[in-house]
Amino acid sequence: MALKFYLPYILKRAKEIKEEKRVVRLHTVDYNGTDYWSSVVLNHPATFDTMAMEPEMKEELIEDLDMFVSRKDYYRRVGKAWKRGYLLYGPPGTGKSSLVAAMANYLKFDVYDLDLREVQCNSDLRRLLIGSSNRSILVIEDIDCNVGLQNRENDNDTTEDDKITLSGLLNFIDGLWSSCGDERIIVFTTNHKDRLDPALLRPGRMDVHIEMSYCTFSGFRVLASNYLKIEEHRLLEKIEDLFQRVKVTPAEVAGELMKSNNSDVALENLVKFLTKQGT
């Protein structure tokens, strides 16, 4: 009787340990290979602890990811492909790429970086998507910059395999790609959400929209803890006031904090930088 209950626990724990030790890899398009993908170990240090995001947004995203990976039986029961789409949008330097790395490190999912400018036609896109693995994140960065994907008006001007089209991408994501594997996440990033065709954004494709905006004071506190290992400082009140009046990205703030290991010097430089930005 004890073995009946203990064995499933052992098997479950063994699977968890295996996943904890799993090495996350980054795959990029490579037409010189035989499988269209080449890969390297993803050594990106980003985690949710290091992301300069609002705490509520961070918590909601983690809860959403946890729910997604735990719902295998649910997706089968409702007859839906086990996939989820995330749209990350906001100005450059707000951490969209770092958030993808944090998601991959948290889930231990491989990342497939799909640069559509490197894909020659819809047939190649089909092969690339089929060649991706389960438990992975497919990333298409700056999707608004990809020619032919802003709208569907020009799709009829070319044959199916002549070039990458929006309809081709959506058909593969909704059909072939989503039905040939499990635990698939797709992430689109853009600096200009308003330029995207509404067909890209509907539920079932991009289920969660996350705005990566300018750095807030709470985001700065995360960066100050990461870079300077400080929680309190005499300049924090002044810095908080400045953040209410200026728009700067987390990348800009991090750049200022990295200029000195001395917290006094680094924060004084940041005050000067923020003051200058506000003038």
More confident residue, 240 or 168: 240
> What secondary structure letter does DSSP report for 245?
T
Structure tokens at 68: 């997604």
Say if residue 163's pLDDT is above 50: yes
pLDDT in tens, 79-125: 888 999 999 999 999 999 999 999 999 999 999 999 988 888 888 88
> How far apart are the C-alpha atoms of 247 and 216, rounded to whole Å?
9
Give the amino acid at 45: P
Average pLDDT over residues 242-253: 97
Amino acid letter for position 119: V
Inter-helix orientation angle 236-243/263-277, to 10°: 30
* Residue 211 phi, psi (nearest 5): -85, 120
72: Cβ contacts below 8 Å, ≥ 6 apart = 82, 182, 183
> pLDDT grade, residue 127 (50/70/90)?
confident
Q: How confident is the model over 82-95, as pLDDT tens digits?
A: 999 999 999 999 99
Band the pLDDT of 150: cuts 50, 70, 90: very low
Q: What letter represents residue 154's amino acid?
A: N
Whether 139 shows a pLDDT value over 50: the answer reads yes
- Local structure of 43: helix, strand or coil: coil
What pTM was computed for the model?
0.87
Nearest to 205 by CA among 174, 233, 250: 174
Both tokens of residue 125? 């896109």
Q: Judge whether residue 146 has pLDDT over 90.
A: no
CA 253, CA 70: separation in Å to the nearest integer? 36
- Specify the amino acid at residue 57: M
The string of pLDDT tens digits covering residues 13-55 is 555 555 556 799 999 998 775 668 999 999 999 999 999 999 9
Domain at 21-211, CATH homologous superfamily = P-loop containing nucleotide triphosphate hydrolases (3.40.50.300)
- Average pLDDT in the 261-276 region? 98
Give pLDDT, residue 153.
Answer: 44
pLDDT, average across residues 46-70:
97
β-strands 136-140, 25-29: how paired?
unpaired
Rg of the chain over all Cα atoms, to the nearest angstrom? 22
How confident is the model over 157-161, as a mean pLDDT? 51
Residue 132 pLDDT: 92
Q: Mean pLDDT for the chain?
A: 87
pLDDT the model gives residue 152: 46
- Asked whether the predicted pLDDT for residue 1 surpasses 70, the reply is no
Give the pLDDT confidence of 210-239 residue by residue, as tens digits. 999 999 999 999 999 999 999 999 999 999
Comparing CA positions, the residue from 175, 240, 253, 183 lying closest to residue 213 is 253
DSSP 8-state secondary structure symbol assigned to residue 269 = H
Where do the domains of the chain lie? 21-211, 217-277
Q: Is the pLDDT of residue 148 over 50?
A: yes
The better pLDDT of the pair 148, 38 is held by 38
Predicted pLDDT of residue 220: 98
Q: What is the pLDDT of residue 192?
A: 93
Residue closest to 185 by CA, chosen among 210, 167, 149, 165: 210
